[in-house]
Amino acid sequence: MDIFAIITILTILSAAFAFINTKFLKLPFTIGLMIIAMCFTLLIVIVGQFNSSILEQSKELIQSIDFKTVLLEVMLSFLLFAGALHTKLDDLAKHRAPIMLFATFGVMVSTFLVGGIFYFVAEAVGHHIDFIYCLLFGALISPTDPIAVLGILKEAKAPKKLEIKIVGESLFNDGVGVVVFLVIFSIAQRGIASVEAEEVGLLFFEEVFGGIALGLLMGWVGFKIMKTIDHYETEVMITLAMVMGIYSIAHAVHFSGPLAVVVAGIFIGNKSPEIAWSKTTQNYVDKFWELIDVFLNAILFVLIGFELLIVTINGEYILLGVLAIPITLIARYLALKGPIMLFNEKLEFIPKTDMIMTWGGIRGGISIALALSLQPEMERELFLTVTYVIVVFSIIGQGLTIGPLVKRVLGR
Judge residue 34's burial from the number of C-beta atoms within 10 Å of its C-beta, 0-12 exposed, 13-18 middle, 19 or more buried: buried
Phi-psi region of 325 (alpha: psi -120 to 50; beta: other; left: phi over 0): alpha
Q: What is the largest CA-CA distance in the chain?
A: 66
Average pLDDT for 272-278: 91
**How would you write 307-332 as a 3-class SS string?**
HHHHCCCCHHHHHHHHHHHHHHHHHH
Contact 247, 201 (CB under 8 A): no
Angle at 238 between CA 236 and CA 243, to 5 degrees: 105
> Is residue 412's pLDDT more than 70?
no
pLDDT value at residue 160: 75
The C-alpha angle with vertex 130 and arms to 128 and 134, in degrees rounded to 5, equals 100
Q: How many CB atoms within 10 Å of residue 253?
A: 11
Q: Average pLDDT for residues 378-405, to the nearest whole number?
A: 93
This prediction's pTM: 0.94
CA distance 264 to 251: 16
Residue 147 pLDDT exceeds 80: no
Q: Which pLDDT tens digit goes with each residue over 296-353? A: 999 999 999 999 999 998 999 999 999 999 999 999 999 999 999 988 877 778 888 8
